[in-house]
């Protein structure tokens, strides 16, 4: 929430701070991008718990706003990204892998993802969720390739 400073009404609460623009990258995953819709006279901001807002000043990274009370300069600063700091589960689609003894297997999985650094999640890679999913798929295939099928069935829990 933000407080809008108005000479006649005093501080009033702004109704909409951010507008979500949903871009579909594939049929299964949707990437949320946020665009700042702050009024020009918004100065005091309240960042919700478990979120981090990335602020740019005149088009260049300025700082990351942590949960709680924050102050911005309306004309110079803009909120570029909003990162959720909650843990999310991403389904890894089924894929084929070849074990050490040349047996073809079909595997799938679930990846748990949590953002610790909002700056790196925003600027480090174009689509962080997609990059982590691709890394998990590659790692699953390479680890299955190192293990024989019998060992894989016996030590199934060790793959987690």
Q: What are the boundaries of each domain within the chain?
A: 2-84, 88-159
User: CA-CA distance, 109 to 104, in Å (whole number)?
Assistant: 17
The CATH homologous superfamily of the domain defined by 88-159: Band 7 domain (3.30.479.30)
State which of 3-7, 24-28, 100-104 shows the largest mean pLDDT: 100-104
Pair of tokens at residue 49: 């718990």
User: CA-CA distance, 53 to 72, in Å (whole number)?
Assistant: 12
- pLDDT (tens digit, 9 = 90+) per residue, 55-92? 999 999 999 999 999 999 888 898 999 999 999 999 99
DSSP 99: -
Q: Percentage of the chain surpassing pLDDT 70?
A: 74
CB contact at 8 A, 47 and 34: no
Phi, psi of 147 (to 5 degrees): -120, 140
pLDDT at 149 over 50: yes
DSSP 87: -
Pick from 21, 2, 123, 138: nearest CA to 64:
123
Q: For residue 153, is it left (φ>0), alpha (ψ between -120 and 50) or beta?
A: alpha
């Amino acid at each position: 929430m933000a407080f809008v400073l108005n000479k006649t009404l005093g501080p009033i609460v702004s109704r909409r701070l951010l507008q979500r623009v949903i871009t579909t990258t594939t049929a299964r995953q949707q990437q949320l991008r946020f665009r700042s819709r702050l009024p020009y006279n918004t100065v005091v901001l309240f960042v919700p718990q478990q979120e981090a807002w990335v602020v740019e000043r005149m088009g260049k990274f300025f700082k990351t706003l942590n949960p709680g009370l924050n102050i911005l300069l309306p004309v110079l600063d803009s909120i570029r990204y909003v990162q959720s700091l909650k843990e999310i589960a991403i389904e890894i689609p089924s894929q084929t892998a070849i074990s050490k003894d040349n047996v073809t297997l079909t595997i799938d999985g679930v990846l748990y993802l949590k953002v610790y650094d909002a700056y790196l999640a925003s600027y480090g890679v174009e689509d962080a969720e997609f990059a982590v999913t691709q890394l998990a798929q590659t790692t699953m295939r390479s680890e299955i390739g190192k293990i024989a099928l019998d060992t894989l069935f016996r030590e199934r829990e060790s793959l987690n």
